[in-house]
Amino acid sequence: MDIRSLIARGETLTTEFKSHLNDRELTKAVACLANAQGGTLLLGVHNDGEVTGAQQRPGGHTEPTRVAAYIQNNTVPPLGVTVTLDDVDGKQIFRIDVPVAVPGPVATKDGYYTKRVLDTLGQPQCVPMTPHEIVSMGMVTRGQDFAAAVATSATMNDLDPGEFDRYRRLAQLTGDGTGALQDRDILRALGLVPLGGEISLGAILLFGRESAITRWVPNAEFIFQDLRAGDTAANERLVGPLLRVAEDMRALIDERNRVTELTVGLHRVEMSLIPSVTRREALANALVHRDYSALGPTRVQIDDAEFVVGNPGGLPPGVTIHNILDESRPRSPILADAFKRAGLVERKGKGVNEMFEQQLRAGRSAPSYARSTTDSVLVSVPLGTADLDLVRFLLTFENERQRALGLDHLRVIHEIKALGSAAPTELADGLAMLPATTRSIATQLVELGIVESRGVGRSRRLHLTPRFYDLAQDRTAYVRVKAADPLQQQRMIRDYVDAYGAITRGQAAALCQLSPGQARSLLKRLVEAGDLRIVGERRGAKYVRV
């Protein structure tokens, strides 16, 4: 991103402004960024975005190579950064591009470990790293598996024979050969016996007695909460080996799951409130990928609106909320392999994709990782009313064509349905897809007869075919969607704001007969075009003339 865009965007988790820093503060600021997601430090910009110009470095120089060399020589391990001297409105600014610390974490030479986080108000700041964060990050970035570490002085007596039997039962169901092995051979096959023959922390996590888990992995605590009113309400604390916890959690969820029957032609289809794949993958990911060196329990919660699984510790290095469908990097390959052999996760490593796909097939919004932070991972699975018309439409198409739609197809169809009609650029922005991928998927859906296209070039828009609205018994909605003129809707909103001073999203939806999602998209286009600006936040937000 160019420097003017960085300044205009303001300070974020990956962008920091400083009017001036001495050498010691400079290395602390750079290490802070490196220990989070990396980013850019701008020297010569006040934290409110005012360009003040960079001061000369100690010794009277402004040479980028010397600044980069100083940082590399005063961080441990040495951190290579890219430093440039840019001109903004006649004032010079040091731009320091900082990579993620790999291997990490990175400290200053005088021993300061800090990382950049968002505070409770969403403002970025640097905070000291705790000892467990330093150890955890060091193991992960150096490719060291927590589960392979030695549980000092642990013996086979600390492992529960009943848990080995549980593993054998599960592995035999999947046809995995380890299901026929003896206890010690199972440990060897799963990589749970270090070179010296000791018992590993992974062996304690998978097969340990509760007393052993409490001693060697005290953070392995799990909370199940049903926050709905009535007989299903619950608040359960579980401590035990991971395979047992996985089965106990599954039972707690399944006894609260409900099923809806949908008739499609001559077929009856059962739809669970929480699909089995969603339950399986959300739980397994929480147990396998959590950071067991981080304090705090794993929480599994159900309320009227969502199914939530939250873990202490951030996402594994290289995985973000934006690429989580494309990247599969287990924090502990040893634990992930054991769960695959036991049939508790998807064996191809694409369980998150399956979870998204099943949720969309059930007519609900996709799971979201948006509430995750550098210190925690939280997946929220919406449980609101399913769009049964869309489910019926998709099932009818797949039954007639004998062809299953892929995840990207389902994501695009849901987004078009939510917006009523959408341009390919809007779909790419809303789904965080590459524009070329979105255009390709849209073209395929048009060829399949699921989506119609109208307009050309930048005015091209996509909407569902009349077959969907026919099955939904709402044929007039198709006419409204097809006939909708975005330019006319924009004129109506501008006229409203000119007459009354401001408009809310709800007023825009009512004025143009749009859904909330369509109104949000329309108002966003007017803001981007410079016609309107937003004032206030959330429910208090309104749009006024620029």
Q: What is the pLDDT along the chain (546 residues), one digit of tens a residue?
A: 788 888 888 899 899 999 888 888 899 999 999 988 899 999 999 988 889 888 877 766 778 888 888 888 788 888 888 999 998 888 899 999 999 887 678 889 888 899 988 876 778 888 888 776 777 676 666 556 778 888 888 999 999 999 999 999 999 999 999 999 999 999 999 999 876 778 998 999 999 999 999 988 888 999 999 998 887 888 999 999 999 999 999 999 998 888 877 776 666 777 788 888 888 888 988 898 888 877 789 999 999 889 999 998 777 767 778 888 877 777 788 898 999 999 888 766 678 888 898 888 888 888 998 888 877 899 999 987 788 888 888 888 888 888 888 999 999 998 888 887 888 888 888 888 888 999 899 899 988 888 888 776 766 788 888 877 776 665 555 545 555 567 778 888 888 898 888 999 888 888 876 777 778 888 988 998 899 999 887 778 899 998
Choices 1.20.1180.10, 3.30.565.60, 3.20.20.150, 3.40.980.10: CATH for 222-329+345-382:
3.30.565.60
Residue matched to tokens 């694409």: 350
Q: According to the CATH classification, is domain 486-545 in 1.10.10.10?
A: yes
Residue 501 DSSP label: S
pLDDT at 41: 94
Q: What angle do CA 458, 474, 460 make, to 5 degrees?
A: 5
- Domain 388-483 -> CATH class: mainly alpha
pLDDT at 441: 92
pLDDT at 208: 95
What are the angstrom distances between the C-alpha of 510 and each of 13, 489, 513?
A: 37, 11, 5
- Two structure tokens written together for 360: 């969309």
pLDDT at 466: 80
User: What is the tens place of the pLDDT at every residue in 512-528?
Assistant: 767 777 788 889 889 98
**Alpha helices, DSSP H, located in 77-209:** 131-141, 161-174, 183-189, 201-207
DSSP characters over 428-445:
HHHHT--HHHHHHHHHHH
What are the angstrom distances between the C-alpha of 338 and each of 50, 243, 334, 335?
A: 54, 9, 6, 5
Beta strand 298-302 with 222-226: parallel, antiparallel or unpaired? Answer: parallel
User: What is the tens place of the pLDDT at every residue in 141-179?
Assistant: 655 677 888 888 899 999 999 999 999 999 999 999 999
Burial label, 102 (beta-carbon count in 10 A; 0-12, 13-18, 19+): middle
> What is the residue extent of each domain of the chain?
3-129, 146-216, 222-329+345-382, 388-483, 486-545
Burial label, 460 (beta-carbon count in 10 A; 0-12, 13-18, 19+): middle
- Which pTM was predicted? 0.65
Burial of 504-524, coded b for 16+ CB within 10 Å and e otherwise, reads: bbebbbeebebeebbbbbbbb
> Which CATH superfamily is 3-129 part of?
Schlafen, AAA domain (3.30.950.30)
Strand, coil or helix: what is 281? helix
* Max Cα-Cα span within the chain: 83
pLDDT at 473: 61
pLDDT at 510: 80
pLDDT at 248: 94
DSSP H/E element including 544: strand 542-545
The answer to whether 388-483 and 486-545 have equal CATH topology is: yes
Torsion of CA 383, 388, 393, 399, to 10 degrees: 80
DSSP H/E element including 235: strand 234-238
Dist CA 225 CA 299 (whole Å): 8
pLDDT at 213: 92
The shares of helix, strand and coil residues in the chain, as percent rounded to the nearest 5, are 45, 20, 35
pLDDT at 314: 77
Q: Measuring CA to CA, which residue among 343, 369, 344, 364 is closest to residue 275?
A: 364
Q: Is the separation of the CB atoms in 125 and 165 below 8 Å?
A: no
- How long, in residues, is the chain? 546
